[in-house]
Amino acid sequence: MRFNSRVALPWLLIAALLGIPAAAGRTLAAEAAEKPAEGVSYFRDIRPIFQTHCQGCHQPAKQSGEYVMTDFTRLIAGGESGDPAVVAGKPAQSYLIANITPIGDDAPMPKNQPPLSPEQILQIRQWITEGAKDDTPQSNRPQYDADNPPVYAAAPVITSLDYSPDGKLLAVAGYHEVLLHKADGSEIVGRLVGVSERIESVAFSPDGKRLAVAGGNPGRMGEVQVWDVADRKLLLATTVGYDTCYGASWSPDGKLIAFGCPDNTSRAIQSDTGKQVLFNGSHSDWVLDTVFSVAGDHLVTVSRDQSMKLMNVPTERFIDNITSITPGALKGGIHAVDRHPTKDELLVGGADGAPKTYKMFRDQARKIGDDFNRLKTFPALPGRVFDVAYSADGSRAAAGSSFNGAGQIRVFESESAKEIAKIDLPHGGVFAVEFSPDGQTIASGGFDGVVRLHNASTGELVAEFAPAPLAAPADGS
């Protein structure tokens, strides 16, 4: 531990004046350096520790040990042991302290994770000693859980949607939740309410049994959730960084989940434990989407920095810029990427409005300005392309865009780039598009909060619906 001279020197002086041996004086100085300042704040100091290390397993959607740490009253009360977790003014009688204090190199909690640091434990003890007060502003107190889901005055902006592999369900991003619909939009069959207020990405696992969710609370935390689809239960919640996460994707074997972060990093975690197995910082701006190679041993990421990068998963190493590195070759950032279902070809869309396909692996030496990996460029959509998708057989590609409050979807033949359908949506930009597994329907959502199902061959509207139940207006109109 670093020696704090500003704290230590007064203690050494006092020791000398009182005739205390120098060694004892140094011990007192070290203890003073370790002790946090008076006035530990729950909201400022303690809550971030719990949020990062504890709340993934102790929240309304996942009450391990029947203990919830996102609600202050239940945080104090404790769980299935029956012992109070926090006794104000008495850290020695607080069961929470016993659970986070290491015995040897390990502590009971956080489970299967490294123990909290001595500084963090000392700060929690000090907070309890000072009375364990809750100074959380009312605006930051938890409001939603499965028993009290969000109430919508207007349909939420739809940032992501995904069909289950069997084509029976459509997952739609909402506020603080993911809404599971029957694929035809006729009924909500589940509401997966979690801690994250912003849901940026939803993705079914390859076998359809789990759902990965990337999001968080803007400017405060990022989070990746994993849900059991059949039981509607939260299996895993991992806190990452201090801003929302994006672009969740599954490895082909379902063992890993990759995602991007606003701190310019790409990451991957084990889907069953949450352990981070890939961390790469080769981008220079927010990483917005990810996809694995067919073999699952490489990861492709796209970013606001106008590049698409290739990484080796086992080594976590950056391998290549798939897109050109020539300044100005790409006009703006890349928002979305999808991989062909059977081969390592990539479909991307971004700020220039023109979807493109690239081969994943370079087979000739890079030259400045070559953009050699690009295979084809599709006709441009108006504005920015925010999402792209391949059909399950790879024969078709779709893109959705937004421009001046209006949206457009185009469906193309993958090989010839021939346009199959063009769908204009004048009342809101398109942020999410997805083919149904049989390729017959394309689902979309965006700014106006309406999910639309179109015939993927003709563009004809099949159905449209608001994904979340809307509250009746206060005046009853």
pTM (2 decimals)? 0.79
The token pair at 241 is 């960084």
Q: Any residues with CB less than 8 A from the CB of 297 and at least 6 apart, and which?
A: 312, 313, 314
**Average pLDDT, stretch 310-333?**
84
The residues pairing with 199 across neighbouring beta strands, listed in sequence order, are: 215
Tokens of 117: 């640091």
Adjacent-strand bridge partners of 312: 298
Helical (H) or strand (E) element with 142: none
Q: How far is CA 270 from the centre of its chain?
A: 14
* pLDDT at residue number 330: 65
Dist CA 135 CA 128 (whole Å): 13
Q: Is the pLDDT of residue 19 over 50?
A: no
Amino acid at 350: G
Domains of the chain are 5-34 (no CATH), 43-140 (no CATH), 161-465 (2.130.10.10)
Q: What's residue 34's pLDDT? A: 47
The rounded distance, in Å, linking the Cα atoms of 343 and 232 is 33
pLDDT at residue 22, rounded to an integer:
40
Asked if residues 305 and 288 have their Cβ atoms less than 8 Å apart, the reply is no
Sheet of strand 308-312, all strands in order from the earlier edge strand to the far edge: 287-292, 298-303, 308-312, 318-321
Confidence of residue 427 (pLDDT cuts 50, 70, 90): confident
Question: Tens digits of per-residue pLDDT, 433-454?
Answer: 999 999 999 999 999 999 999 9
Query: What b/e sequence results for 23-48 when a residue is b if at least 16 CB atoms lie within 10 Å of its CB, and e otherwise?
Result: eebeebbbeebeeeeeebebeebbbe
Residues listed for the chain: 477
Task: Look up tokens 């106006």; give the residue.
Answer: 448
**Span 73-95, pLDDT tens digits:** 778 888 888 888 888 888 888 88
Chain segment 268-312, per-residue pLDDT in tens: 999 999 999 999 999 999 999 999 999 999 999 999 999 999 999
The DSSP letter of residue 375 is E
CA torsion 68→70→71→73, rounded to 10°?
Answer: 60
Over the stretch 58-71, which tens digit does the pLDDT of each residue have?
877 777 887 887 77
Reduced to 3 DSSP states, what percent helix, strand and coil does the chain have, rounded to the nearest 5? Answer: 15, 40, 45
- Find out whether 36 and 130 touch, Cβ atoms under 8 Å: no
Displacement of CA 114 from its chain's centroid (Å): 22
Give the confidence band of 38 by pLDDT, cuts at 50, 70, 90.
Answer: low
Mean of the per-residue pLDDT values of the chain: 87
The average pLDDT across 151-158 equals: 92
Amino acid at 352: D
pLDDT at residue 137, as a whole number: 82
Q: What is the mean pLDDT of residues 225-241?
A: 94
